[in-house]
Amino acid sequence: MATKYDYNEVERILNETLTSLGPERFSTMKVTELEKVVRTRAGTMALPGRSQLRDAIHTFRTARWKHAAPKLRR
């Protein structure tokens, strides 16, 4: 089954957001705050649901800053 969302586009938006906000601010913002910024930047582009988008943000941040991203509750 093909996914509805292009996660490469999601990563592109995350990279743009990182460039716009700067690494220090991006790495210290709450995931919920970043989600709002990303949804605003995406405009009409289809994005995954809340949990999937937050997981994508978390994965993006932990790949760059191992200790900066909050731990996921499971």
Q: For residue 32, what pLDDT is reported?
A: 92
Domain membership flag for residue 71: no
Domain membership flag for residue 17: yes
Ranges under pLDDT 50 in the chain: 1
Domain membership flag for residue 44: yes
Per the structure, the complete domain to which residue 30 belongs is given by 7-64
Q: Which long-range contacts (CB under 8 A, 24 or more apart) does 45-50 make?
A: 45/9, 45/13, 46/4, 46/5, 47/5, 47/10, 48/4, 48/5, 48/7, 48/10
Residues 31-51 have pLDDT tens digits of: 899 999 999 988 888 888 999
Domain membership flag for residue 20: yes
Domain membership flag for residue 70: no
C-alpha to C-alpha distance for 25 and 22, rounded to whole angstroms: 6
* Number of domains within the chain: 1
Residue type, 1: M
